[in-house]
């Protein structure tokens, strides 16, 4: 009884700290990159913002949409966006606790949530990260030996349907994990798991698609797979950086795998899966990207690792070693400190706020004159600045111009709000309850 009480207290403290961390960075998590674009669309349409048929976003966007329909102040709307993502993760955790006969699987979800995530923590609206939690829920259902077979298959089918509404990569790692689970003990039931996943992946690729995910997968080029790229490419160096950040969680995975009795062919399959996923990411991200995007896809790599641990490791291995709870607590605490100490996103908000002290409502600046941190994720700055300034009651916007998006003619039109480069020319009437952008021409920003 005492052990159960301590466990519940520890879980409560985790979610309390996670809530404090989430809301402490509410500005950074609402205004950075895609987050600002999603929020802008929800404010404009007073409705959900779905991209590429990823309807799962409704699961965490509903508090924001409700707040907008109620015409709550902008700060309240932004706080509701943070709350929506937090509640989604909490719901997944509770579902894993309820549906799992092995409670330690819920601890894996906690590790997934912060121990192998850094920059992606600030990318809160992304369907890939939030959808990866469903992968671990699927693991909990597969490992449940108490529910009836029809109910289990129905639950798996439901989760796979939700995953179809997320990101193609999420289904890909499910298929890899289920394949390894089948190799561990080939039987009819596990074959059905694999077959159901293949059907879901096929539906995602050829039915529930808008071309984005499929076009992304078409960039695969075997000629990129060289020893040099695997070791020294843009993504390879970024991956090494994140491995150094996540070393406590990686060490935990190695310890769990080491003490678990293994079959050699399963070990070979796991190593092949890890290597294959790494190669896919090296090729997919070979042209580089901004850190948050890189970390976002690295999350899929570690989600696969967490899913393998959840599928293959038995509860007696976890319960037999008393150092495991202490190790988990130490990893979670280290992860909270690491996330809290990240200041690059706060500095980004600070630079934007400082730049908007100039007396113009609409400003532009050549990208090469902006700080280095904006070079690869500049497209969202108009939305970021519009949101940040509107919090203070006076809407302003800054556009970072790039040669690939000719903008000279649009800058002279005082009626336009210029957002992402691919939307130049759109006639955008800003929501009057949230944005009061004065109708002036764009003026050069003095750096």
Region class of 71: left (phi > 0), else alpha (psi between -120 and 50), else beta: left
* pLDDT value for 2: 42
- 167 and 312 fall within a common domain: yes
pLDDT at 199 exceeding the cut of 70: yes
Q: What pLDDT digit, counting tens, does each position of 304-357 carry?
A: 999 998 888 776 666 666 677 788 889 999 999 999 999 999 999 999 999 999
Give helix 291-312 / helix 234-245 axis angle, nearest 10°: 60
Considering 340, 360, 381, which residue would you say is the last residue of a domain?
340
pLDDT at 126 exceeding the cut of 70: yes
Q: What pLDDT digit, counting tens, does each position of 368-402 carry?
A: 999 988 988 899 999 999 999 999 989 999 999 99
- 313 and 352 fall within a common domain: no
Task: Indicate the range of 231-235, 310-314, 432-436 predicted with least confidence.
Answer: 310-314
- 148 and 107 fall within a common domain: yes
* pLDDT value for 71: 95
* pLDDT value for 162: 96
What does the alpha-carbon distance between residue 145 and residue 16 come to, in Å, rounded to a whole number? 32
C-alpha 231: how far from its chain's center? Answer: 25
Considering 340, 357, 380, which residue would you say is the last residue of a domain?
340
* pLDDT band, very low/low/confident/very high, at 217 (cuts 50, 70, 90): low
- 224 and 189 fall within a common domain: yes
- 102 and 90 fall within a common domain: yes
Contact 445, 358 (CB under 8 A): yes
pLDDT at 218 exceeding the cut of 60: no
**Domain housing 293:** 2-340
* pLDDT value for 128: 92
**Count of the separate structural domains present in the chain:** 2
* pLDDT value for 447: 73
Better-predicted residue by pLDDT, 262 or 217? 262
pLDDT at 222 exceeding the cut of 80: no
- 335 and 401 fall within a common domain: no
pLDDT at 213 exceeding the cut of 80: no
- 80 and 35 fall within a common domain: yes
Question: Could you give the percent of the chain with pLDDT greater than 70?
Answer: 93
* pLDDT band, very low/low/confident/very high, at 216 (cuts 50, 70, 90): low
- 326 and 357 fall within a common domain: no
pLDDT at 68 exceeding the cut of 70: yes
* pLDDT value for 360: 93
Give helix 381-390 / helix 74-99 axis angle, nearest 10°: 110
- 233 and 288 fall within a common domain: yes
Mean pLDDT of 218-239: 78
Task: Indicate the range of 4-8, 58-62, 153-157, 406-410 predicted with least confidence.
Answer: 4-8
- 269 and 173 fall within a common domain: yes
pLDDT at 436 exceeding the cut of 50: yes
C-alpha dihedral sign at 378, 295, 243, 236: negative
The model carries a pTM of 0.93
- 223 and 74 fall within a common domain: yes
- 264 and 400 fall within a common domain: no
Considering 340, 373, 389, which residue would you say is the last residue of a domain?
340
Better-predicted residue by pLDDT, 101 or 361? 361
Contact 15, 333 (CB under 8 A): no
* pLDDT band, very low/low/confident/very high, at 1 (cuts 50, 70, 90): very low
């Amino acid at each position: 009884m005492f052990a159960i009480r301590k466990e519940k207290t520890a879980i409560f403290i985790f979610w309390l700290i996670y809530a404090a961390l989430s809301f402490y960075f509410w500005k950074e998590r609402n205004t950075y990159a895609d987050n600002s674009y999603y929020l802008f669309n929800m404010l404009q349409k007073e409705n959900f913002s779905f991209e590429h048929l990823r309807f799962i976003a409704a699961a965490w966007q509903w508090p924001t949409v409700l707040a907008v329909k109620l015409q709550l102040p902008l700060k309240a709307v932004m706080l509701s966006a943070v709350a929506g993502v937090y509640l989604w993760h909490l719901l997944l955790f509770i579902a894993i606790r309820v549906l799992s006969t092995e409670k330690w699987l819920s601890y894996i979800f906690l590790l997934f949530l912060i121990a192998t995530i850094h920059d992606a923590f600030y990318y809160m609206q992304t369907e890939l990260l939030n959808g990866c939690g469903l992968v671990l829920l699927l693991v909990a259902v597969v490992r449940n030996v108490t529910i009836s077979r029809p109910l289990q298959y129905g639950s798996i089918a439901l989760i796979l349907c939700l995953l179809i509404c997320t990101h193609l990569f999420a289904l890909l790692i499910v298929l890899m994990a289920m394949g390894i689970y089948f190799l561990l003990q080939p039987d009819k039931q596990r074959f059905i798991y694999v077959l159901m996943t293949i059907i879901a992946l096929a539906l995602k690729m050829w039915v529930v698609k808008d071309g984005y995910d499929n076009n992304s997968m078409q960039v695969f080029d075997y000629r990129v797979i060289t020893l040099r790229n695997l070791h020294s490419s843009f993504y390879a160096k970024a991956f090494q950086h994140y491995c150094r950040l996540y070393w406590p969680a990686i060490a935990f995975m190695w310890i769990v795998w080491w003490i678990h009795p293994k079959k050699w062919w399963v070990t070979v399959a796991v190593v092949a899966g890890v290597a294959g996923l790494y190669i896919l990411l090296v090729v997919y991200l070979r042209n580089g990207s901004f850190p948050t995007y890189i970390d976002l896809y690295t999350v899929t790599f570690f989600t696969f690792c967490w899913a393998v641990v959840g599928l293959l490791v038995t509860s007696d291995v976890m319960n037999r070693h008393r150092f495991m709870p202490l190790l988990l607590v130490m990893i979670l605490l280290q992860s909270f400190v690491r996330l809290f100490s990240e200041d690059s996103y706060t500095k980004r908000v600070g630079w934007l706020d400082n730049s908007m002290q100039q007396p113009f409502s609409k400003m532009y600046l050549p990208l090469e004159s902006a700080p280095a941190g904006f070079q690869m994720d500049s497209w969202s700055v108009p939305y970021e600045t519009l949101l940040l300034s509107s919090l203070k009651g006076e809407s302003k916007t800054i556009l970072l111009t790039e040669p690939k998006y000719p903008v000279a003619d649009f800058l002279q039109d005082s009626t336009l709000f210029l957002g992402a480069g691919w939307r130049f020319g759109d006639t955008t009437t800003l929501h009057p309850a949230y944005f009061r952008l004065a109708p002036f021409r764009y003026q050069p920003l003095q750096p």
